[in-house]
Structure 1
Amino acid sequence: MENQPNNIPKPNPRNTISLEVAKQWAKEWRDDEASYNKYNQCRAFNIPKKDLIEVLAEGVESIRAYIGVEKIDVKGKQSIFTEKLMIVGVDKNGKDMISSSDGLTLDDGKGEIFDFSEPCPHVCDEGSPINGG
């Protein structure tokens, strides 16, 4: 499990990421979707209970999950790509509970974008019929 992308420390211990990073990952997914999925086997995402509870803040009526790809350049080696599931709270009006005046950064106290998922393969139930077991 050495050097797995999910073992790379996040800048925030609560597993939140910036809006800029979330937008970059989602763009990577859209840009690379046709060719990316030919070579990668992401089937599901494992989401820890404690993290899912964290996203269910006051005022959250539901959650929305966005799909993205994190690209990690490893010096002297081919880039590593890891599928990401980014989750945000959604209010009673169906709006993402994030606020950004500049389109790049989150305004303080106006919502969070969570990155706490681990893709399968790596964190899988190999015997699950949903996973082809």
Structure 2
Amino acid sequence: MEKKPNDVPKPNKENTISLEIAKDWTKRWRDMESTYNSHHDCRAFNIPLIDLQEVIKEQGVVSVRGYIGVEETVVEGDTVFIEKLIIVGVDANGKDMISSKDGLILDQESDDIYDFSDPCPNLCDPKSPLNG
């Protein structure tokens, strides 16, 4: 199985993904989550500080919301699934600060969707009491 075109991040701000990719990954998580964790061992996500700084510096952000997604990709000929933590800014009304008139592409005035993708395992603290 080849890498699907919507799973290839588009060239834009660092760590941002398209609305199409975010929708695909979050739908895949919802479709798989009832059986996903019995077959996969995602425990946490490592989030680089610079990534959080990028999302919180957007104008109007009062908090952030994290969505869980699953990227389907091919590694050495095998289909693998990689857990994704997708972060969006949230405004004072509790609304995600992303907009899309057509539901496919973010509007120009919309803020970005960030992909913070360092799942544990493999990027873990083996000595953490939360990783036991």
Q: Taking structure 2 as the reference length, what is the TM-score of the superposition?
A: 0.87
> Does residue 84 of structure 2 align to residue 84 of structure 1?
yes
Structure 2 distance, partners of 1:112, 1:30, is 22
Aligned pairs (5 A) from 1:1-133: 10-12=9-11, 14-56=14-56, 57-74=58-75, 77-132=77-132
Give how far 1:108 is off. Answer: 0.8
Give how far 1:39 is off. Answer: 1.3
Structure 2 distance, partners of 1:104, 1:10, is 15
Structure 1 distance, partners of 2:118, 2:9, is 13
- The answer for unaligned runs of 5 or more in structure 2 is 1-7
What letter matches 1:131 in structure 2? N
Moved >2 Å (runs of 4+): 9-13
Structure 2 distance, partners of 1:117, 1:46, is 8
Q: Deviations over 1:31-55 (max 9, x none)?
A: 1112221111000000000110000
- The answer for unaligned runs of 5 or more in structure 1 is 1-8
Q: Deviations over 1:13-46 (max 9, x none)?
A: 5111011110100111111112221111000000
Percent identity over paired residues:
59
Structure 2 distance, partners of 1:36, 1:18, is 24
SS of the aligned residue for 1:73 comes to strand
What letter matches 1:11 in structure 2? K
Q: Taking structure 1 as the reference length, what is the TM-score of the superposition?
A: 0.87
Give how far 1:119 is off. Answer: 0.2
What letter matches 1:30 in structure 2? R
SS of the aligned residue for 1:70 comes to strand
Give how far 1:74 is off. Answer: 4.5
Structure 2 distance, partners of 1:113, 1:28, is 17
Give how far 1:61 is off. Answer: 0.5
